[in-house]
Amino acid sequence: MSRGRLRVYLGAAPGVGKTFAMLNEGRRACERGKDVVVGFVETHGRPHTVALLDGMEVIPRRTMVHRGSTFTELDVDAVLAREPKVALIDELAHTNVPGSRNTKRWQDIEELLDAGIDVISTVNVQHLESLNDVVQQITGIPQRETVPDEVVRRADQVELVDMSPEALRRRMAHGNIYAPEKVDAALSNYFRVGNLTALRELALLWVAGKVDDQLDRYRAEHGIAKTWEARERVVVALTGGPEGDTLVRRAARIAARTKGADLLAVHVTSADGLSGGDPVSLARQRTLAEDMGGTYHQVIGEDIPRALLDFARGVNATQLVLGASRRGRFAQIFSRGVGVETTALSGSIDVHMITHAEAKKGRRPSSRAALTRERRITGWAMAVAGMPALTALLAPFRDDLALPSEILLFLVMVVGVALVGGMWPAITAAIGGSLLLNWFFTPPIGELTIADPENLLALAVFVMVAAAVSAIVDLAARRTREAARAGADAEILSTLAGHVLRGEAALPSLLARIRETFGLVSVTLLERSGPPGPDDQSEPGAWRILGTSGGPPCSCPGAADTDVVIDETLVLCASGRLLDAADRRVLEAFAAETAVALRQERLQEEAEKARPLAEADKMRTALLAAVSHDLRTPLASAKAAVESLRNTEIAWSASDREELLATADESLVKLNRLVDNLLDMSRLQAGVLGPTLQPIALEEIVPRAIDDLGPLRDRVEGDISVELPDVVADPALLERVLVNLMSNAIRYSPPSEKVLVTGSRHGGRVEIRVIDRGPGIPPEAHDQVFKPFQRLGDRDNHSGVGLGLALSRGLAEAMGGSLVPDETPGGGLTMILTLPIS
């Protein structure tokens, strides 16, 4: 059985017409003769959507009961039993009621697809997992129902249902999306023009990425190597040289000329991994490319032009930026160079050759020494002394040995010199050996002339073979040494990578690792303290120490045995021994990582400094937005009651006057409680609230707290045993905590349910439980209810300060206790206040 096909209608916001488009497609499929059923559709009472269901087969929903409430869900078994060709299932990201077969609706749809049923579904962009946090930043509303991006990306077809923000707001204003009483709130909050524009852009970009993936897959499946210029992509090739910064900036300017163009930086290294660019320069250029919105890539290839073009064609690039050759004119005679070769092979890709200050300056020759000094000395000694010694040994047997045998013995000697001393001692031995063979063993003896042409050929072949063998032996020794060095460097760098991945990238730890790796006395990171000067390399006052490890730190770069310049202001100084070029190359990689670690530390410090200010600003904003309500409500009630009593035109009865006075008194009590809470919270945050702890009997304090609730006291039932031991607490603060907890429980409990207050002993502590039968809160939101100036589920703070639980926890902890939430069996929330026994 073949797997079913998934089609998804993606929208930027509710109301753009996803469900309408899904039902329209279903009706068209019916007209084409396909077997279509409606598995689950949420019409939200919209008449145009409801009308499309007429005449379509709808699978009955499955009814489920959870916490006393009834819900309906998609009946997967019914759809499987019906076996339609196409099923219409709304809301791909929906979370099923607990107790369902699958947690998410997209998992239900996967079952249908596995059964060979085609599915058409809908989803909004805010429900995509990768965009969830971005949408929350834009709208300020967290989305709890999400679907993994991969589920939507795997869909056979994703169609964007697009609508301009203005048209969507008009549809909202006409009552086509929400009920009339919700329109004003929606237009002023979630459906603001800025929100809708940002969400629309997110949806368009996501679908564009999906289309891009489909294009790449199509080109790969059909073997299309030619570039399709569906989107501008600029690739800049980096060698790690000093010209790289210029190339990245120029490529970024080229990419900026086209809206939405991509910038990609690429560095090609050889397949053996033994050669490459300067790691410090590459790290800097990578950071520069990423700062300009680009990405950095590294590819392996022996043929640099072909590797560059393979990468460019693989990413469907349209333009390639290269630097003008740094090789001199003489070197260009023998090879056209990477730039010319790449241009010749580029085909439809535009190649930009960028001039720079380093062009045609030539490259610094690298050291070619492959053998140790001792081996080279031994090789020269064998070449200088060994050949005469061999001549002296063979001279007595001159008449018994033929010339070819003598040449072979001399060749063995040359190979031995090559194995020990390398190429140049072997070449010297070959030339000297040829002269000795000519003088002592080739007729006429004692002369450098050669009578027989065949002997001349034999000597020439001897010199060529000796030179070839010497070169091969030298190359093998060089590769062996380079491979050993590369292995050691790779081990060191892998240690560095593991060091970073384990989260040990703190600056002191990195400096200590550098000192241990290279066996140094001390390693110091210096930062220039002022503008550059002519003699500041040896001036300690021009530098400040950011970090050091080991012995006495270096106070300036001039005092170090080895210094690595990281950027214009940072220098890594090492003392203890001079490092060779290969060790310095690895040290430069470490130095680049220390700069990253320093940047992370400073960013973290800045974030830590900014966090209190941000929290204070957030709290101040929330307070200004929220306190106005709780201040205005009791003030308005008290003012209305007092103005009514002062009105001489109305003759109030005694009962009316009593009721107005009670209203004013209750409002002023609420106002006084609010002010007390605000003052206590400010004292708690300032650390100046000092509780007066003493033994307290709960059977006395709980009834007093219930009485403080005023008219709401009848909705609370206390069950405190007189056998409970006394607790240690501040009487006034404990009463305040209980009043806040009970007030909060009453607010969220159904009118027919009473709030229960119980007490029990557990070891050396007493637990006071305030139990309600309200909607409760999910476990992941338990800590959220204790945030000041916030109520769970509020989208704004205009419904009240939301300070009671935050203050209650603070007061409980100030008295040496704790306050934690728990679920009430059967539904609701239980606040557990724990206090020590006297």
Residue 383 DSSP label: I
Could you say which residues of the chain have pLDDT below 50?
A: 272-275, 330-331, 334, 362-368, 791-802
Among 198, 237, 284, 211, CA closest to 568? 284
Residues 759 and 724: beta-carbon distance below 8 Å: yes
Q: Measuring CA to CA, how many Å separate 456 from each of 414, 434, 448, 461, 462?
A: 19, 10, 11, 9, 10
Decide: 545 and 528 in contact? Cβ < 8 Å: no
Structure tokens at 220: 């790969």
Bridge partner list, 834 = 767, 818
CA distances from 90 to 121, 159, 175, 196, 324 (A): 5, 14, 21, 22, 58
Spatial separation of the C-alpha atoms in residues 767 and 809, rounded to whole Å = 14
Tell me the three state secondary structure of residue 125.
helix
Secondary structure of residue 195 in the 3-state scheme: helix
Q: Write the pLDDT tens digit of every residue in 148-179.
A: 888 998 898 999 999 998 988 888 888 788 77
Pairing of strands 562-565, 543-550: unpaired
pLDDT of residue 113: 94
CA distance 102 to 92: 13
Per-residue exposure over 618-652, b if at least 16 CB sit within 10 Å of its own CB, e if not: ebeebbeebbeebbeebeebbeebbebeeeeeeee
Render pLDDT for 436-495 as a digit per residue (tens, 0 to 9): 887 888 777 877 776 667 666 766 777 777 778 777 877 777 777 667 666 666 666 666
Are the C-beta atoms of residues 718 and 702 closer than 8 Å to each other?
Answer: yes
Q: What pTM was estimated for this model as a whole?
A: 0.38
* Contacts for 20 with CB less than 8 Å, ≥ 6 apart: 48, 49, 52
